[in-house]
Amino acid sequence: MDKIIPDFNLTLTNMILNGFELDPNYYECPANISERPPSVRRPYWGIWFFASGVVMLISFEGTEMIELKVKVYDELLLERLRQGCATAGRSILIRLLYIPCFFAIVFSPLLKTPAYKTMLVLAIYDISSIFIHSISTGILGFYGVPFCDYPRLIACLGGVALGSWMGCCIASMTLAVIRICDLSMQMNIKKYFDGARIYIFLGAFFVYGVGAGLLTKPVIFTPTYMSWFFDPMVGKNPEFYVNLPHTYNNILMAICTLAFYGFLSYLGFKAGDGNTSNNSNTRKVVILLQSFFFCIFHTIASVLYAYMQFIAAPPYLILVSQIAWQTSSGSVCIVYLTLNKTIRKSVMKMVCPKAYLYGRRVSMMISMNSNSA
C-alpha cells in the first residue's frame, strides 16, 4: 500500500516540465504490440447510436432498433462503436441545450446573486466536462483509440476531465449550501457568500479544479470499456495509479450531498407546513428540485468511480458510471429549462424571439381580461 501515494512523476505538470514526455517508468507502452491495450473499433452500431443519441439523452432507452443490412464480423467491435456514437450524440444535444442556458446565466440580472455566480462557474466546468466525457469519449470510442496510440493527447484529456470533474463537485456542493441559505434566511453562514466574499469561493473553485488536473494523476481512456481509468493498462502495477485526492473528493461529495440535500428536504417540508403563500412554497420546492438534480448524478458517478479504483467492476457497472458522469452535466441544462423560470424565459427569448413576444402578449391579454372581469 505504500505505492498508493500522490506521485508528482505521474502528473500533467511533470509531463509539461519534461517537454510533454510522460514518465516511462509508469506510462511506457510494451514493445510487444500484443501486450498493449487493444484497439477496439465500432463501425455500424456507432452510426446508429450517433443518430439516436438525441432520443437517448432524454430516455436513455433504445428499445426499437433499426435493422441494418450489414455483415457483422465482430459483435464486441460493433458494440463499442455503438457506445461511442451514442456518447457523442448525447453530447451534441447537451451542448445545443447548454450553450443558450450558459448565455442566459451570463446576461441574467440575477448574476449579481451568489447562487447565479456559482451556477456560472458550474456551467463552465460542466461544458469542459462535456467536451471530454461525451465528445472525446465518443470519437475515441468510434475509432477504438487506445492509450498507446496517442498517450500525450489522452493524458492531457484525462487531466482536463479530472480537473473539470472535481471543479464540478466543489461548485455543486457550494451551490447546495447557498440554496440552504436561500431557504433558511436565519442561517449565519449566509453572510460569507454576500458581496465580494463570493469571489473568494469562486477563486477556490478555480484553484481546486486546475490543481486537481495538473497536480494529480490523470484518468486514461480505455476503449475496451468505453470509459476512463487511472490505470493505462500497460502492464504496470495498478497500485501506482490510484489517485487518493480523487477518492477523497468523491467520498466527500457523496457524504455532503446526502447531508446537504437531506437538510434541504427538511427545510422544504418544514416551509410547506407553515402559513406561507402558495407562490412562496412553489418557489422553495423549485429551488429544492433544481439543487437536487444538480448533484444527484454527481453522487452516483462519484461513488461508482471511487469503487472502480479499488475493485474490478463488471462492464455494465462501468457503463452505468460513464452514463452517470455524462448525465451529471446534461441534467443541469434540463433542470435549467424545466425548473428555472428566469433561464427558460431568457433562452426562449434568444432562440425563439417571436414566439416569446407572442407568448407575452397572450399572457398580458389574459391577465387584462381577468382583471376586467
- Cα atoms in the Cβ-side hemisphere of radius 13 Å centred on 127: 14
Q: What is residue 322's predicted lDDT score, i.e. its pLDDT? A: 80
Residue in the block written with cell 469503487: 307
Are 319 and 364 in the same domain?
no
Q: Is 360 helix (H, G, I), strand (E, B) or coil?
A: helix
- Say what the pLDDT of residue 175 is: 82
Residue 333's pLDDT is 58
Instruction: Please indicate, yes or no, if residue 36 is contained in any of the structural domains.
Output: yes
Tell me, yes or no, whether 281 and 359 share the same domain. no
In which domain, by residue range, is 46 found? 8-339
Instruction: Say if 2 falls within a structural domain.
Output: no
Q: What is the pLDDT along the chain (373 residues), one digit of tens a residue?
A: 444 445 788 999 999 999 999 999 999 998 888 877 777 654 433 443 343 333 333 332 332 222 233 333 344 444 544 555 555 444 444 445 555 555 556 656 667 788 878 888 887 888 788 788 877 887 788 788 889 999 999 999 999 999 999 998 888 888 888 878 877 766 777 788 888 888 898 899 899 999 999 999 999 988 888 888 999 988 888 888 989 899 999 999 888 887 887 787 777 667 655 555 566 666 666 666 666 666 677 778 888 888 887 888 888 888 788 878 877 776 655 665 565 565 555 555 555 555 444 444 444 444 444 444 4
Residues 370 and 293 in one domain: no
Q: Is residue 68 part of a domain?
A: yes
Residue of 281, 54, 257, 10 lying closest to 151 (CA atoms) = 10
- pTM (predicted TM-score): 0.73
Q: Residue 98 falls within a domain, yes or no? A: yes
Q: Are residues 283 and 358 in the same domain?
A: no
Q: Within 10 Å of residue 85's Cβ, how many Cβ atoms? A: 25
On whether both 354 and 333 belong to a single domain, the answer is no
Ranges of H-type helices in the chain: 12-17, 24-27, 44-59, 75-106, 114-130, 137-143, 151-183, 197-215, 244-272, 278-310, 315-339, 341-351, 353-372
Q: What's the number of CA atoms in the CB half-sphere (13 Å) around residue 116?
A: 17
Are 209 and 128 contained in the same domain? yes
**154 and 168 belong to one structural domain:** yes
Alpha helices in 244-352 (DSSP H): 244-272, 278-310, 315-339, 341-351
**Domain assignment present for 92:** yes
**What angle, 0 to 180 degrees and rounded to 10, lies between the N-to-C axes of helices 75-106 and 114-130?**
150
Residues 192 and 161 placed together within one structural domain of the fold: yes
pLDDT score at 156: 95
Is position 58 within any domain?
Answer: yes
Q: What is the CATH number of the domain that holds 90?
A: 1.20.1070.10
Instruction: For residue 1, tell me if it sits in a domain.
Output: no
Convert 93-106 to b/e letters by CB count within 10 Å (16 or more is b).
bbbebbebbbebbe
Residue 297 contacts residue 327 (beta carbons within 8 Å): yes
Q: Both 233 and 366 in a single domain?
A: no
Q: Looking at the structure, tell me whether residues 67 and 166 fall in a common domain.
A: yes
Cβ contact 270:186 at 8 Å: no
Q: Are 30 and 234 in contact (CB under 8 A)?
A: yes
Instruction: Burial-class residue 211 by CB neighbours within 10 Å (0-12, 13-18, 19+).
Output: middle
Whether 294 and 361 share a structural domain: no
Instruction: Classify residue 86: in a domain, yes or no.
Output: yes
250/360 same-domain check: no
Please give the tally of structural domains in the chain: 2
CA nearest neighbour of 228 among 296, 129, 123, 300: 129
- The Cα 287–Cα 290 span in angstroms is 5
